[in-house]
Amino acid sequence: MKRHRITLIPGDGIGPEVMKPTLKLIEAAGVNIEWDSHLAGADALKKHRTTLPKQMMDSFAKNRVALKGPVTTPVGEGFASVNVELRQSFDLYANLRPIKNLPGVKARYENVDLIVVRENTEGLYSGIEHEVVPGVMESLKIITEKASTRIAKFAFDYAVANRRKKIAAVHKANIMKLTDGLFLQCARDMSQKYKRIGFSDLIVDNACLQLVLDPTRLDVLLLENLYGDIVSDLAAGLVGGLGVVPGANLGDTHALFESVHGSAPDIKGKNIANPTAIILAAAMMLDYISEAKAAARLRTALHAVLARGECLTRDLGGSASTSQFADAIRREMEK
């Protein structure tokens, strides 16, 4: 059996509570992983006086794959976002968010199967800001041909590999003709190299409208950084919320898999948090490290427990604890 060494970032708040049973489920799926565990975020700040300890960064640099729970970046204390720093430090330029209905999970729509691909390194989300004069602030939106081209290529390659049929580039090029215009043109140019994949474009406000009207019309969405941040959360709301949606941040050499919900400090220590998002993120990670059979076992067992509806956490309409929910998934895997 192949042994993998992976960096583990349990996270803050409910992070360790949802991560612990997930690690047991990965082991039950038959994958041999040596976890290199490190703090990040608020807990790391208390212990190491930084939200991104060097030990954690060095571990990820060496192992190249990480599984991360929700982390808290202290607000208004001069600390950069943990997520932004990780993405920029390791050039994790592609944010991948699968949006899909889960059996038994109440949602506003049925038959949703979307992929949100978000450029992760530039645009307004980068936070390049300064004070022009007192009372006047300026934020710079930088879009480059290099970054726009490589995220477009990532989206089309993903579509081919996963048998997706069409891509829609989301933009505001009617107003931001140079920045969004460049992003859109790079996507159009890339589409010429992938004739079997349908291509269209949507102005971002219309894209949000179409998602709310009928998300089943859309397949793969390609967005720059800030639009992707907003639309990926909107899309998660279509299938039950951030608690049931995983995420991945991918580069050419490194990959970070994570739950995308918050650290929920209000329910920390109560053993009631829903681990579905981090379990699905772990399944994405298993696919990435060529453990596809184990990933399928994990997803199948999770889907079976959700569909049965007899052992659900409170946010899903049940009364089960985090550990009870995870134990039900493990028993399903043992079948």
* Whole-number Å distance between alpha carbons of 205 and 210: 9
178 exposure class (CB count in 10 Å sphere: 0-12, 13-18, 19+): exposed
HEC assignment per residue over 89-118: HCCCCEEEEEEECCCCCCCCCCCCEEEEEE
How is domain 1-93+242-335 classified at the architecture level of CATH? 3-Layer(aba) Sandwich (3.40)
Mean pLDDT taken over the chain = 95
Q: How confident is the model at residue 77 (pLDDT cuts 50, 70, 90)?
A: low
pTM greater than the 0.85 cutoff: yes
Mean pLDDT on 47-55: 91
CATH number of 108-238: 3.40.718.10
The yes-or-no answer to whether 1-93+242-335 and 108-238 have a common fold is yes
For position 179, what pLDDT does the model report?
Answer: 97
Domain ranges, ordered by start, for the chain: 1-93+242-335, 108-238
| 23-40 residue pLDDT tens | 999 999 999 999 999 999
| 192-226 residue pLDDT tens | 999 999 999 999 999 999 999 999 999 999 999 99
Mean pLDDT on 179-189: 98
* Whole-number Å distance between alpha carbons of 230 and 2: 39
Q: Give the residue from 211, 259, 322 showing the smallest Cα distance to 71.
A: 259
